[in-house]
Chain A
Amino acid sequence: MRILVVEDDADAAAYLVKGLREAGHSVDHVIDGATGLNMAENGGYDAYVIDRMLPQMDGLTMLEKRREAGDETPALFLSALGEVDDRVSGLQAGGDDYLVKPYAFSELLARVEALGRRRAPSNVTTKFSVGDLEMDILSRTVRRGGRKIDLQPREFRLLEYLMRHAGQVVTRTMLLENVWEYHFDPQTNVIDVHISRLRGKIDKDFDTQLLKTVRGAGYTLSDED
Chain B
Amino acid sequence: MAEERQDNSRKGSSRLFRLVRTTSFRFTLITMILFIISVFVLSAFVYRATIGDAIGDMEDQITEEVAALEQVYERAGYPGLRRVIGLRSSSYNARGSAYTKDALYILIDPDNRQPPVRDLSQIPPEALDSENIVEFSYERITASARNNILDPDKIEMRYGIGGMRRMYNPETRRQEAIVFVARDITDLVRIREAASDVFVRMAGVTFILALVVAYFSSRAFLARLDDVNRTAEAITAGDLGKRIPLSGAGDEFDALGRNLNSMLDQIERLMTGMKQVSDNIAHDLRSPLTRIRNRLESAVSEPEIDYKTVVEQTIPDVDRLLATFNALLSITRIESGERYGTMKPVDLVALVEEVTELYEPAAQDAGFRLNVDLQATPQVMGSRELISQALANLLDNAFKYGRTSEEGVEPTIEVKVAPRVGGGALMSVSDNGPGVSPIDRERILNRFVRLEKSRSTHGSGLGLSMVTAIARFHNGQLSVGPGLPRHEDKHSLDQPGNYGLGIRIAFPPAPKNLFEMIKIGNQKG
The chain A residues found within 8 Å of chain B, CB to CB, are 82-85, 102, 104, 154, 180, 182-190, 193-194, 197
B302 sits at the interface (CB 8 A)? no
B342 sits at the interface (CB 8 A)? yes
Contact B358 A184 (CB under 8 A): no
Q: In the complex, A161→B135 CA distance in Å?
A: 106
Contact B359 A190 (CB under 8 A): yes
Contact partners of A102 in chain B: CB under 8 A: 322
Q: Which 7 A-B pairs have the closest CB atoms?
A: A193-B361, A187-B396, A184-B389, A193-B362, A190-B362, A186-B392, A188-B362
Given A83-B333, A194-B361, check contact A188 B396 (CB 8 Å).
yes
Q: A155 — nearest CB in chain B belongs to which residue?
A: B361
CB contacts under 8 Å to A, within B368-385, are 383, 385
Contact B389 A190 (CB under 8 A): no
Q: In the complex, A104→B323 CA distance in Å?
A: 12
**B389 → A minimal CB distance (Å):** 4
Given A83-B330, A84-B339, check contact A182 B388 (CB 8 Å).
yes
Contact partners of B330 in chain A: CB under 8 A: 83
Given A102-B322, A182-B388, check contact A187 B358 (CB 8 Å).
no
Contact partners of B389 in chain A: CB under 8 A: 182, 184
Given A83-B333, A83-B339, A85-B342, check contact A182 B362 (CB 8 Å).
no
Contact partners of A182 in chain B: CB under 8 A: 358, 385, 388-389, 392
Q: A82 — nearest CB in chain B belongs to which residue?
A: B326
User: B-side binding surface: helix, strand, loop or mixed?
Assistant: helix
Q: In the complex, A83→B339 CA distance in Å?
A: 8
**B74 → A minimal CB distance (Å):** 99
CB contacts under 8 Å to A, within B89-117, are none
B341 sits at the interface (CB 8 A)? yes
Contact partners of A193 in chain B: CB under 8 A: 361-362, 364-365
Given contact pairs A83-B333, A84-B339, A184-B385, enumerate 13 new A-B contacts (beta carbons under 8 Å).
A84-B342, A85-B338, A85-B342, A102-B322, A104-B319, A182-B358, A182-B392, A183-B385, A184-B389, A188-B362, A188-B366, A190-B359, A193-B364
Contact partners of A197 in chain B: CB under 8 A: 361
Q: In the complex, A131→B339 CA distance in Å?
A: 46
B354 sits at the interface (CB 8 A)? yes
Which interface residue of B341, B361, B399, B463 has the most chain A CB atoms within 10 A?
Answer: B361
CB contacts under 8 Å to A, within B453-469, are 458-459, 463
Contact A189 B362 (CB under 8 A): yes
Given A189-B362, A190-B361, A197-B361, check contact A184 B459 (CB 8 Å).
no
Against A, the Cβ 8 Å flags (1 = close, 0 = not) of B385-400 are 1001100110110011
Contact partners of A194 in chain B: CB under 8 A: 358, 361
B304 sits at the interface (CB 8 A)? no
**B336 → A minimal CB distance (Å):** 11
Q: In the complex, A154→B354 CA distance in Å?
A: 10
Against A, the Cβ 8 Å flags (1 = close, 0 = not) of B314-335 are 0000010011001000100100
Which interface residue of A104, A154, A182, A197 has the most chain B CB atoms within 10 A?
Answer: A182
B252 sits at the interface (CB 8 A)? no
Q: A187 — nearest CB in chain B belongs to which residue?
A: B396
Contact partners of B339 in chain A: CB under 8 A: 83-85
Q: B390 — nearest CB in chain A belongs to which residue?
A: A184
30 pairs from A and B in contact (CB 8 Å cutoff): A82-B326, A83-B333, A84-B339, A85-B338, A85-B339, A85-B341, A154-B357, A180-B354, A182-B358, A182-B385, A182-B389, A182-B392, A184-B385, A184-B388, A184-B389, A184-B392, A185-B323, A186-B359, A186-B396, A187-B396, A187-B458, A188-B362, A188-B366, A188-B395, A188-B396, A188-B399, A189-B362, A190-B359, A190-B361, A194-B361
Q: B325 — nearest CB in chain A belongs to which residue?
A: A102
Contact partners of B400 in chain A: CB under 8 A: 187
Q: A182 — nearest CB in chain B belongs to which residue?
A: B388
**A107 → B minimal CB distance (Å):** 11
Q: In the complex, A82→B323 CA distance in Å?
A: 13
Give the residue of B354, B388, B459 whose beta carbon is less than 8 angstroms from that of A187: B459
**B338 → A minimal CB distance (Å):** 8
Q: In the complex, A180→B463 CA distance in Å?
A: 20
Q: In the complex, A142→B176 CA distance in Å?
A: 136
CB contacts under 8 Å to A, within B141-176, are none
Q: In the complex, A187→B326 CA distance in Å?
A: 13
Q: B398 — nearest CB in chain A belongs to which residue?
A: A188
Contact A188 B359 (CB under 8 A): yes
Q: A186 — nearest CB in chain B belongs to which residue?
A: B392
Contact partners of B383 in chain A: CB under 8 A: 84
**A174 → B minimal CB distance (Å):** 15
Given A84-B383, A185-B323, check contact A180 B392 (CB 8 Å).
no
Q: A104 — nearest CB in chain B belongs to which residue?
A: B319
Q: In the complex, A190→B355 CA distance in Å?
A: 10
Q: In the complex, A53→B359 CA distance in Å?
A: 36
Q: In the complex, A154→B358 CA distance in Å?
A: 9
Against A, the Cβ 8 Å flags (1 = close, 0 = not) of B340-360 are 011000000000001001110
Q: B319 — nearest CB in chain A belongs to which residue?
A: A104
Q: In the complex, A145→B326 CA distance in Å?
A: 45
Q: In the complex, A154→B355 CA distance in Å?
A: 12
**B469 → A minimal CB distance (Å):** 13
**A159 → B minimal CB distance (Å):** 15
Q: In the complex, A180→B392 CA distance in Å?
A: 13
**A196 → B minimal CB distance (Å):** 8
Contact partners of A154 in chain B: CB under 8 A: 357
Which interface residue of A84, A85, A184, A197 has the most chain B CB atoms within 10 A?
Answer: A184
Q: In the complex, A145→B395 CA distance in Å?
A: 38
